[in-house]
Structure 1
Amino acid sequence: MAGLDITLIGQSGIRWLVHAGMSRTGREPGITLTDGGVKALMDAPIETDWIEDTEGAIFSGDRFLPRDLMLGFAMADELVGAGVTPGTTEDQFRREFSSRPDPWNPGFQHTQVEVDSELSTFTPRRLSVQLRDAPDMEMKQDPYSKRVFQIAYELRAAQPLWESKKDVSVFTKSGSGSGSGFVTVSNPADTACRHTWILTPGVWTLPDPSWLGAPGHRAPAGEFASRTVMVEVKASYGGLRITRERRKLHASTLTGQNALSAMGGKWIRFDIPPHTPPTQLPISVTGAPSSGARAEIHMPRLWTRPVGMEL
């Protein structure tokens, strides 16, 4: 059966299947999304900028905004099992959400909305959410005596894009000395891929091309089609992480120390465009230690929708 399965992965790690649009086995938790109670689950919000003049306007850019969504739930204690104290299920579910991180828990993870579908190849996709406002419980009658709860959660996803499993391409060289080869990059998603390199000690020449071409036919091209960046990873670093992700240090050791000096004044400049097919890019290393060398390129998959939009 085609459709969407929607699961809430709570802060405790418990999975709450709240909508089963595909055939599945297993007992439901007594909680389901209400009809008409879901808002802003599909497209990520954007804001466009325009420069106006006497002949109209010229597009100057756009940006994704935080996603504010609402999920309405119906909860029935008697569906969970006999002997359940009224309100137990609702109370446990409420404790899966918070408006802020837990500063005492180093492994804290905000609640995630997970959407799985047979309509997509790259699935499931997840969105991390936190409370934007207090949940609104319907109180037209006493829900504890009726043992049925209607409650709406107003949530915010600070990062509004849905994330599917990232892809990783690896180049390895055994033993000391020099070596060369290829990594395979791609981006089936409908937003640009801000990739991350993880490197072991050695002097690396990394590919950083500009791209051109229609969706599905992107290829290294243009003024910087053959651009590379040389990076020296010292043994004292233990390893180096270079990332295009915003709000993160561009180059750091694997322990989080600033290592911008390793870049020699250069930066990895180009994202992998949306809808880029698998493409091999050359990579090389010199001065590898006797244990060999390894380079990984990590490619997150970020989508404007929880389903579809694929290459």
Structure 2
Amino acid sequence: MYSSPLFESAKIEIQGCDGSGTWHVHGIGQGSRGVYLGEGQVKGIYDAPTLTTWVSSAHQSGGAMKRRKRLVRDVSLGFHISDDRTSAKWGAIESAFRQCFDYREDDWDPDSTLARIDYISEQSGLRMLDVQLWEQPDFNPDVDPNVQGYSNPIIPLRAGQPFWYEEPKTSTWSTTGSSGSGFVEVENRTDVPMAIKWIGTRGNWVLPDFSWTGRKGHRVPGTDKLRGRDDSARKIIMPPIGTTQGGFTVDLDPKQLMVRDAHDTNLLGQMPVPGRYFQYVIPPYTPRTQLPVSVTNAPAGGAMVKLVMPQLWTRCQGMELAA
């Protein structure tokens, strides 16, 4: 079996979209189910793909970058599928492994997921990437693979969300009274801007929406460089959350409704200050910082708010800020 210096001390596993369990394809345990990665057939797993747009004025020497866009990530993985180390026949192994991947989530299964690549390294631990087929696999054997008991398909995969991710971190504040104030802790140790999510219970909430400034590892609330204004003490008054709403979620992920209740009803139109919405993500390499929160008119038993912090990375390992 192939062991490349590229993956030395790393382990790569495939989690099938069909619930077939774990396929160990590189590192300790590779090939235990008859499948392992091919030499020179692993492409697209490191830096997240990026497109930059540049402009140049009529009399300017050179140019200037105006925009950076993160693109979908295309990954190409070649696998050796062989029945020489298992009791199963090649056809059964190949068929089961092919079912690990699909073009989309199952239209009829509400609990379906995409296939996932797990990359486990000594340096960075477990990072994951959700992938799906974007075209048919390249598989054109010269001879009958049933006779050889071997094949080498190339699987073309695409990650619509191009960043490797870890399990999100959370920070919670609560009160047993009808009102109160306190702090939740935020931190972004990754190299990707963090679109945070707030999840809260009933009450009248005031949440922070701070701008940030400072060098990597030393970010603090301060003047926003891009907007040119200081929103380091900016707060958002939430709509009153009562029995009808049941709770609320604030999500800075642009693919989601920014403010919704527990029933996924859009609450943006009910914001007490029209046009005053959440604007600021948490910059990469932001150290632990206390964010103030407060609530009034909470029900009997008190109130709780949780800050969810996604952990996204441009690479499958590394990019941690050096101490």
Q: TM-score, normalised by structure 2?
A: 0.90
Is the partner of 2:94 in helix, strand or coil?
Answer: helix
In structure 1, the residue matched to 2:244 is: 236
Correspondence 1:152 to 2:154: yes
CA deviations over 1:157-193 (Å, ceiling 9, x no partner): 1111111111111000013x21111000010110100
Is the partner of 2:96 in helix, strand or coil?
Answer: helix
The 5 A counterparts of 1:95-106 are 95-106=99-110
Give the Cα–Cα distance (whole angstroms) in 2 for the partners of residues 17 and 186 of structure 1: 33
Correspondence 1:249 to 2:251: no
Instruction: Extract unaligned runs of 5+ from structure 1.
Output: none
Give the Cα–Cα distance (whole angstroms) in 2 for the partners of residues 2 and 153 of structure 1: 23
Task: Give the RMSD, CA atoms, in angstroms.
Answer: 1.6
CA contact under 8 A between 1:165 and 1:301: conserved in structure 2? yes
Correspondence 1:289 to 2:299: yes
In structure 2, the residue matched to 1:129 is: 131
Residue 73 to residue 169, structure 1, CA distance change in 2 (3 Å): same
Is the partner of 2:93 in helix, strand or coil?
Answer: helix
Give the Cα–Cα distance (whole angstroms) in 1 for the partners of residues 49 and 247 of structure 2: 37
The 5 A counterparts of 1:86-101 are 86-101=90-105
Give 1:138 shift: 4.3
Paired residue type of 2:75 = L
In structure 1, the residue matched to 2:285 is: 275
Number of residues of Structure 1 aligned to a counterpart in Structure 2: 303
The 5 A counterparts of 1:16-165 are 16-20=23-27, 24=28, 28-53=32-57, 54-55=59-60, 56-81=62-87, 84-120=88-124, 123-165=125-167
Give the Cα–Cα distance (whole angstroms) in 1 for the partners of residues 82 and 89 of structure 2: 11
CA deviations over 1:104-160 (Å, ceiling 9, x no partner): 01111010111111111xx31111111111111241222110101111001111111
Is the partner of 2:244 in helix, strand or coil?
Answer: helix
Q: Which is worse superposed, 232-241 or 266-275?
A: 232-241
CA deviations over 1:9-62 (Å, ceiling 9, x no partner): 101231111111xxx469822110000000111010000011211212121110
Instruction: Extract unaligned runs of 5+ from structure 2.
Output: 1-6, 224-229
Is the partner of 1:48 in helix, strand or coil?
Answer: strand
CA contact under 8 A between 2:115 and 2:132: conserved in structure 1? yes
Give 1:78 shift: 2.7
Please state which structure has a larger fraction of its residues in strand.
1
Give the Cα–Cα distance (whole angstroms) in 2 for the partners of residues 182 and 127 of structure 1: 32
Residue 48 to residue 135, structure 1, CA distance change in 2 (3 Å): same
Is the partner of 1:99 in helix, strand or coil?
Answer: coil
Is the partner of 2:269 in helix, strand or coil?
Answer: helix
Is the partner of 1:237 in helix, strand or coil?
Answer: coil
Give the Cα–Cα distance (whole angstroms) in 1 for the partners of residues 29 and 41 of structure 2: 25
